Amino acid sequence: MATTFERVRDVVVAQLKVKADEVTPEANLVDDLRADSLDIVDLTIAIEEAFQGDAEFEIRDEDAENIHTIQDILDFLAQQGIN
């Protein structure tokens, strides 16, 4: 069974068209993974879809504002009970 990090990594690779080994917990979505504002909105939608079977949650705009790195995504998911 894939870990939460691996699942997030796969979504990020598919959405941002980056290499899997670029996706580390510390990786910054904008600076390291070359995402722009539209990419980040798109990515949050994809994360919601990928994890909707795990818990009932929504990434609101104010949540998205605090997401800068892959670790931020993992922390957000942990708050929803997804570890």
Partner 1 sequence: MTRALVTGLGTVTPIGLTVHDFWENLTSGVSGVTRITRFDSSELPVHIAAEVKGFDPSKYMDSKGARRMSRFAQLAVAAAQLAADDAQLVLTDNERSRAASAIATGSGGAIDTMEEMMVLKERGPNRVSPFYIPVMAPNMGACQVSIHLGLRGPALASVAACASGLYSFIEAKQLLDSGRADVVLAGGTEAALHPLPIAALANMKALSRNNDDPAGASRPFDLHRDGFVFGEGAVVLVIESESRAKARGARVYAELMGGGLSCDAYHITAPREDGTGAQEAMTEALAAAGLQPTDIDYIAAHGTGTPLNDAAETVAIKLAFGDHARKLAISSPKSMVGHLLGAAGAVGAAAAVLAIYNDLVPPTINLETPDPQCDLDYVPNKARKMTVRAAAANGFGFGGQNGSVVFRKYQP
**Region at 17 (left for phi over 0; alpha for psi -120 to 50; beta for the rest):** left
Q: Does 75 bind partner 1 (CB under 8 A)?
A: no
Q: Which of 61, 57, 62, 53 has its CA nearest to residue 77?
A: 57
Q: Map the footprint of partner 1 across residues 20-39, applying CB under 8 A.
A: 34, 38
Given 36, 63, 72, 75, which residue is catalytic?
Answer: 36
Residue 36 falls in the annotated catalytic set: yes
Segment near partner 1 (CB under 8 A); pick from 3-11, 19-27, 41-49, 69-77: 41-49
Say if residues 33 and 22 touch (Cβ distance below 8 Å): yes
By annotation, the residues acting in catalysis are 36
